[in-house]
Amino acid sequence: MALHGEFYPARIVVGANSNDAFLCEDVGADVTEVARGIGLDSRIGHRFLRAGLGWGGSCYPKDTAALLGVAAQAGYEMPITEAARTVNFQQRIRIVQKLRDVLKTLSGKTIGILGLAFKPNTGDIREAPSLDIIRQLVAEGVNIRAHDPISIPKAQHAMSDIPVDFIEDVYIRHYISLIEMFVMTPRSEV
| Residue range 93-143, pLDDT digits in tens | 999 999 999 888 999 998 989 889 988 888 899 999 999 999 999 999 999
The per-residue pLDDT for 38 is 74
Verify that 115 and 67 share a domain, yes or no. no
- Whether the model pTM is above 0.85: no
**Domain's final residue, options 41, 69, 91:** 91
Active-site residue flag, 24: no
Verify that 77 and 145 share a domain, yes or no. no
The per-residue pLDDT for 21 is 65
Low-confidence ranges of the chain (pLDDT < 50): 177, 190
In a domain, 188, yes or no: no
Verify that 111 and 160 share a domain, yes or no. yes
CB 142 within 8 A of CB 136: no
Verify that 83 and 148 share a domain, yes or no. no
Verify that 64 and 20 share a domain, yes or no. yes
Based on the number of CB atoms within 10 Å of its own CB, is 188 exposed (0-12), middle (13-18) or buried (19 or more)? exposed
In a domain, 31, yes or no: yes
Kindly give the pairing relationship between strand 143-147 and strand 164-166. parallel
Verify that 84 and 27 share a domain, yes or no. yes
CATH number (domain holding residue 131): 3.40.50.720
What span, in angstroms and rounded, lies between the C-alpha atoms of 15 and 17?
5
DSSP letter at 190 equals -
**Domain's final residue, options 63, 91, 119:** 91
The active-site residue out of 12, 38, 44, 59 is: 59
Q: In the chain, which ranges are E strands?
A: 110-114, 143-147, 164-166, 180-183
In a domain, 100, yes or no: no
The per-residue pLDDT for 46 is 65
Verify that 55 and 114 share a domain, yes or no. no
Q: Which domain holds residue 148?
A: 105-183
SS3 142: coil
